[in-house]
Amino acid sequence: MNLRVEIKEAPQEADYQAILAPLSEYNQAHTGRVGVEKIALLIQDETGNSQGGLYAKISGQWLFVELLVVPEIARGQGMGSKLMSMAETLARKKGCQGIWLDTFSFQAPDFYLRLGFSIFGELKDYPVAGHDRFFMQKRFDVLSSDKL
């Protein structure tokens, strides 16, 4: 079999799936885990229109918070904490060992630290110089320092 590498500057969903399928097969063979469960907690206005919320995926024994946005009008009123608490409750019910996420220095790292998350990785000067991206986790099997 002769193999070559082709650069595709506008890849399609099929290209993504062509890479994902063998990787998923490999991962499943080594972990026994298969599939991803998606969860959405929506913030809706009086007309039922979504104004924000939390979107997460459970893979393996971890819940990954992919998106979290609270509308400007509701910030500082506990809505973000409520969403995270609901996500944690769901994660625990599903047997997860923790939650992980990423956030930028200009977004909400302090918010997540207050909720018991810790930083396990940092990418300096991303997305641009002067800003950083933080990778954070909250393990359920580890007591936080305020509970010791």
The 10s digit of each residue's pLDDT in 3-53 is 999 999 999 999 999 999 999 899 889 888 777 899 999 999 999 999 999
CB-CB neighbours of 148 under 10 Å: 5
The 10s digit of each residue's pLDDT in 39-81 is 999 999 999 999 999 999 999 899 999 999 999 999 999 999 9
* CATH number of the CATH domain containing 89: 3.40.630.30
Q: Determine the longest span between alpha carbons in the chain, in angstroms.
A: 60
For residue 14, being part of any structural domain is answered with: no
For residue 148, being part of any structural domain is answered with: no
Q: How many independent structural domains does the chain possess?
A: 1
For residue 4, being part of any structural domain is answered with: no
For residue 11, being part of any structural domain is answered with: no
Which pLDDT belongs to residue 148? 47
Name the pTM for this structure.
0.86
The 10s digit of each residue's pLDDT in 94-110 is 999 999 999 999 999 99
Q: What are the CA-CA distances from residue 144 to residues 78, 117, 118 (Å)?
A: 21, 9, 9
Q: What are the CA-CA distances from residue 82 to residues 11, 76, 79, 99, 136 (Å)?
A: 38, 11, 5, 15, 18
Which pLDDT belongs to residue 45? 93
For residue 19, being part of any structural domain is answered with: no
For residue 130, being part of any structural domain is answered with: yes
Higher-pLDDT residue of 91 and 34 is 91
Instruction: Kindly tell me if the per-residue pLDDT of 143 is higher than 80.
Output: no
For residue 52, being part of any structural domain is answered with: yes
The 10s digit of each residue's pLDDT in 110-136 is 999 999 999 999 999 999 999 999 999
For residue 127, being part of any structural domain is answered with: yes
Q: Torsions phi, psi of 16, nearest 5? A: -60, -50
What is the domain extent for residue 128? 34-140
